[in-house]
């Protein structure tokens, strides 16, 4: 945290010559308010008109100069630091409250913790966290010893530490490990490491017998690594320079110079990216090519890693499929003639002929087939029915066919919840591991006997607060009728003893893009809001897939405005029905959910008291016209291609940056990371600058810039909640809660 002295020094240096602009808090004479915050002027960015011409239409972007791909321009960095210093200075009177919130939040996180062990390849694998340490410690113990107890709070006898992320993070402001993968013989670890927060990982290898790290390091990867069955060959994915698109699959042999690695596959279509995995049978390395609405898979024989990849089924426009292998067949989740997906299977040699595919689980309209897991004796289906993520289990019948007639859904104890497949590396087991949560129940790990139907509690996320009682909170789900008659689910949680006879502060969260569903899950940091009388709600708006594939399709491309309308209509209903009032209503969203925040702030600024936008994607048109920016080309099927006039004009109608108006806006807190590779820092920077110039109110507009972080914010299990506490302090202060 910057000191107050540094904040004011930067402000004095950078802002003394700044002209006064419209709004942003600089129209109130000093001393005319009882607000304890210093009456200082916010950074007012210079305006340099820059014309952008598309389809005979000209836009003038006065803040285009803020873009610097290298993040080295002194003037831009000075402006961002000034914004950060201004936010620090305005929030300085709340520093004690913010610090108390942070300490309260992290106090609920177990200082020492152990994950539920997973058995495979002759070992029990688990992770530990130690007191005061930010990162995971990856451990294992031989499988012929008793299962490690996840209730243990320290090192476990006989364990081997395969990776201590804390040791690897030393000397770095940011650290993230991805793709921790161990060869089948258990001798070598592969891990991707990022120390800049750009999601560009360096792949490194460790000899688990000696403990030594290999000399070779492979830069510019996604962090994914898949081992072949020779225990020496590893497949990995490289990112394209500039766009950061995952576009090449390479093969590396342990102990050789990475410059000698072999290119296995290159995705030449810039609307696709690639990913790798391993089949359930372990017979194949899977290479997937993905675009928003089209998928294609290739397979490499894991026993012959030098063999050429073979296409499972050539890509077709609009065909999405996922593939796995067991029982000598490919099992394929597909939307071919099935909008909500179905499961089919085929002999590997006939996979390219769809007429040879055999239907195993038929499609059911409105019930989304999310995924599946193959076991020796059972098939498990993950589906979304009635907006709830559920699990269905069925045994195999003759011929590698699931016995649908014997299928059963795993029963749960609450009406509103979510379930997900857990870590299930073993194929030859009758036990399914799954994760469960609701807005009142912490994340819980169960082992489930697929034959016996007996459920065994393995672990429930601990909340380190002796006063925490799930029964003190209540969760419910509303169905809100949107303006076009569609019913939108809203999940709500609050304290049971909350006075519901009058409107209360309410934080409404939303996302609504990419078919990503916002499940009603537990959050221990959120208790800091609930215990102070704030209601938390999630609007399950169109653009996600909560209500099936149609829910997603009705919230993208030329239907994108449904996403914004749904959120506004849910918010208005919560006000009209007495849950809250406009002067107590907050909105929060991040990334594409930040686009949502920008759109609703432009469309209905009177409805919300405050808006929080995390790493917001707000300069939609300019970004989607620039193919050099990461994520652009393979998102045309999400937002549209603005090189086509129809999409350009539609996008322009809602783009938050392009539609900033001369009007009053709610209080706003905007957060970004300088090194964000998904939503570049200049989008929120430009948006804030335009808001400062055009808005006509005296409400707070704060821009929190993390100069070390990227899209996910700060790293570490404790440090990341510095920003959580900032958001909570900002919101609670606006309703007069300061302790």
Q: Is the pLDDT of residue 45 over 70?
A: yes
What is the CB neighbour count within 10 angstroms for residue 502? Answer: 9
Write down the pLDDT at residue 9: 36
Q: Is the pLDDT of residue 611 over 50?
A: yes
Which band of pLDDT confidence, cut at 50, 70 and 90, is reported for residue 38?
low
Of the pLDDT bands very low, low, confident and very high (cuts 50, 70, 90), residue 614 is very high
Mean pLDDT along residues 435-441: 97
pLDDT of residue 635: 84
- Of residues 571 and 673, the one with the higher pLDDT is 571
Residue 563 has pLDDT above 50, yes or no: yes
Helical pair 682-694 and 74-91, crossing angle rounded to 10 deg: 60
Q: Across the strands, what pairs with 550? A: none
Asked if residue 32 has pLDDT above 60, the reply is no
What's the pLDDT band for 23 if we cut at 50, 70, 90? very low
Backbone angles phi, psi at 625, to 5 degrees: -90, -10
Average pLDDT of the residues in 177-184 = 93
Which residues in 482-608 belong to E strands, given as ranges?
Answer: 487-495, 506-509, 535-539, 585-590
The pLDDT-based confidence of 345 (bands split at 50, 70, 90) is very high
Look at residue 550 and tell me whether its pLDDT is greater than 90.
Answer: yes
Please tell me which residue in 61, 136, 614, 676 is annotated as part of the active site.
Answer: 676
- Model confidence band, residue 631 (pLDDT cutoffs 50, 70, 90): low
- Per DSSP, the residues of 237-295 read EEEPTTT--EEEEEEEETTS-GGGPEEEEE---TT-EEEEEE-TTSSEEEEEEEETTEE
pLDDT over 90 at 679, yes or no: no
The mean pLDDT value for 521-525 works out to 96
Using N-to-C axis directions, what is the helix angle for 592-603 and 561-576, rounded to 10°? 60
- Average pLDDT of span 566-573: 98
Q: Is 570 left (phi over 0), alpha (psi -120 to 50) or beta?
A: alpha
577 a catalytic residue: no
Predicted local distance difference test score (pLDDT) of residue 20: 24
The model's confidence at residue 288, banded by pLDDT at 50, 70 and 90, is: very high
Q: Does the pLDDT of residue 24 top 70, yes or no?
A: no
Q: Worst-scoring range by mean pLDDT, 6-20, 158-172, 485-499, 574-588?
A: 6-20
At residue 709 the predicted structure's pLDDT band, cuts being 50, 70 and 90, is low
Q: What is the pLDDT of residue 19?
A: 29
Q: What is the DSSP letter of 53?
A: E
Give the pLDDT confidence of 312-327 residue by residue, as tens digits: 999 999 999 999 999 9
**424 pLDDT tier (thresholds 50, 70, 90):** very high
Q: How far is CA 588 from CA 126, 177, 329, 544, 602, in A?
A: 34, 28, 45, 16, 14
Same fold, 1-30+37-109+601-621+655-739 and 172-319: no
- Is residue 676 among the annotated active site residues? yes
Q: What's the rounded Cα separation, in Å, for the pair 513 and 532? A: 31
State yes or no: pLDDT of 722 exceeds 80. Answer: yes
How confident is the model over 376-398, as a mean pLDDT?
A: 95
Of 461-470, 487-496, 663-672, the least confident: 461-470
Instruction: Say how many Å lie between the first and final Cα of the chain, rounded.
Output: 20
Instruction: Give the chain's mean pLDDT.
Output: 91
Residue 3 predicted with pLDDT over 80 = no
pLDDT at 540: 97
Question: With bands split at pLDDT 50, 70 and 90, how would you rate the model's confidence at 415?
Answer: confident
Looking at residue 630, its pLDDT comes to 63
Using the predicted structure, report yes or no on whether residue 21 has a pLDDT greater than 50: no
In this model, does residue 418 exceed pLDDT 60?
yes
Of 294, 491, 591, 655, catalytic: 591
Instruction: Report how far apart, in Å, the C-alpha atoms of 5 and of each of 10, 254, 707 are.
Output: 9, 52, 19
**Dist CA 271 CA 253 (whole Å):** 30
Q: From the candidates 26, 711, 715, 721, give the one annotated as an active-site residue.
A: 711
Q: Which fold has domain 172-319?
A: Methylamine Dehydrogenase; Chain H (2.130.10)
Provide the residue ranges of all domains of the chain, joining segments of one domain with +: 1-30+37-109+601-621+655-739, 172-319
Over residues 83-122, the pLDDT tens digits come to: 999 999 999 999 999 999 999 999 998 888 899 999 999 9
pLDDT of residue 320: 96
Residue 228 has pLDDT above 80, yes or no: yes
619 is known as an active-site residue? no
Specify the higher pLDDT residue, 338 or 738: 338
Whether 420 and 368 have beta carbons less than 8 Å apart is answered as no
The CATH number of 1-30+37-109+601-621+655-739 is: 3.40.50.1820
Cα 680 from chain centre: 16
pLDDT at 28: 32
| Average pLDDT of span 534-546 | 97
pLDDT for residue 29 is more than 70: no
Q: For residue 6, what pLDDT is reported?
A: 31
């Amino acid at each position: 945290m910057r000191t107050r002295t540094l904040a004011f020094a930067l402000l004095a240096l950078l802002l003394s010559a700044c002209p006064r602009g419209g709004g942003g808090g600089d129209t109130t004479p000093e001393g005319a308010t009882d607000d304890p915050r210093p009456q200082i002027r916010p950074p007012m960015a210079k305006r340099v008109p820059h014309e952008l011409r598309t389809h005979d239409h000209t836009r003038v972007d006065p803040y285009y100069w803020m873009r610097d791909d290298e993040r080295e321009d002194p003037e831009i960095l000075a402006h961002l630091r000034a914004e950060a210093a201004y936010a620090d200075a305005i929030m300085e009177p709340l520093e004690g409250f913010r610090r108390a919130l942070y300490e309260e939040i992290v106090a609920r996180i177990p200082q020492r913790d152990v994950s539920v062990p997973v058995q495979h390849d002759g070992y029990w694998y688990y992770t530990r966290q130690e007191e005061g340490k930010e990162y995971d410690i990856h451990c294992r113990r031989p499988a012929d010893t008793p299962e490690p107890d996840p209730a243990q709070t320290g090192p476990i006898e006989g364990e081997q530490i395969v990776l201590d992320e804390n040791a690897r993070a030393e000397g770095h402001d940011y650290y993230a490990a991805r793709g921790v993968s161990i060869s089948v013989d258990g001798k070598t670890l592969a891990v991707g490491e990022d120390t800049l927060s750009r999601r560009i990982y360096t792949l490194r290898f460790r000899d688990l017998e000696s403990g030594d790290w290999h000399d070779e390091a492979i830069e510019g990867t996604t962090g994914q690594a898949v081992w072949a069955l020779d225990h020496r060959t590893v497949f990995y994915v490289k990112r394209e320079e500039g766009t950061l698109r995952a576009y090449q699959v390479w093969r590396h042999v342990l102990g050789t110079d990475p410059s000698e690695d072999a290119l296995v596959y290159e995705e030449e279509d810039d609307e696709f990216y690639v990913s790798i995995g391993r089949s359930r049978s372990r017979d194949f390395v899977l290479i997937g090519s993905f675009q928003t609405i089209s998928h294609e898979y290739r397979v490499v024989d894991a026993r012959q890693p030098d063999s050429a990849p073979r296409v499972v089924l050539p890509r077709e426009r609009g065909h999405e499929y996922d593939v796995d292998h067991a029982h000598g067949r490919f099992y394929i989740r597909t939307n071919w003639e099935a909008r909500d997906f179905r499961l089919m299977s085929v002999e590997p040699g006939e996979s390219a002929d769809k007429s040879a595919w055999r239907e195993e689980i038929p499609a059911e309209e409105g019930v989304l087939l999310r995924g599946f897991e193959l076991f020796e004796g059972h098939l498990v289906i993950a589906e979304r029915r009635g907006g709830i993520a559920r699990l269905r289990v069925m045994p195999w019948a003759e011929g590698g066919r699931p016995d649908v007639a014997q299928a059963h859904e795993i029963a749960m104890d609450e009406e509103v919840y979510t379930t997900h497949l857990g870590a299930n590396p073993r194929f030859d087991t009758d036990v399914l591991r799954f994760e469960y949560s609701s807005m009142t129940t912490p994340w819980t790990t169960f082992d489930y006997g697929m034959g016996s139907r007996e459920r065994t509690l393995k672990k429930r996320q601990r909340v380190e607060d002796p006063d925490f009682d799930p029964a003190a909170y209540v969760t419910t789900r509303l169905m809100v009728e949107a303006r076009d008659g569609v019913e939108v689910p809203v999940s709500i949680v609050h304290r049971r003893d909350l006075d519901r006879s009058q409107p209360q502060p309410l934080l409404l969260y939303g996302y609504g893009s990419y078919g990503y569903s916002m499940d009603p899950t537990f959050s221990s940091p959120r208790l800091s809001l609930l215990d102070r009388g704030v209601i938390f709600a999630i609007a399950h708006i169109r653009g996600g897939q909560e209500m099936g594939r149609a829910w997603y399709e009705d919230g993208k491309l030329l239907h994108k405005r449904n996403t914004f309308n749904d959120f506004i209509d849910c918010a208005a209903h919560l006000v009209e029905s007495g849950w809250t009032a406009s002067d107590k209503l907050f909105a929060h969203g991040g990334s594409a959910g930040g686009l949502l925040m920008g759109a609703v702030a432009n469309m209905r600024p009177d409805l919300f008291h405050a808006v929080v936008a995390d790493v917001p994607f707000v300069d939609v048109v300019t970004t989607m016209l620039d193919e050099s920016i990461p994520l652009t080309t393979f998102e045309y099927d999400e937002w549209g291609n603005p090189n086509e006039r129809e999409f350009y004009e539609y996008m322009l109608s809602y783009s938050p940056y392009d539609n900033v108006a001369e009007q009053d806006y709610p209080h706003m807190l905007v957060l970004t990371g300088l090194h964000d590779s998904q939503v570049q820092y200049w989008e929120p920077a430009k948006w804030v600058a335009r808001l400062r110039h055009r808005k006509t109110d005296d409400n707070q507009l704060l821009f929190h810039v993390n100069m070390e972080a990227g899209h996910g914010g700060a790293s570490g299990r404790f440090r990341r909640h510095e920003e959580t506490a900032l958001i909570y302090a900002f919101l609670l202060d606006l309703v007069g809660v300061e302790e």
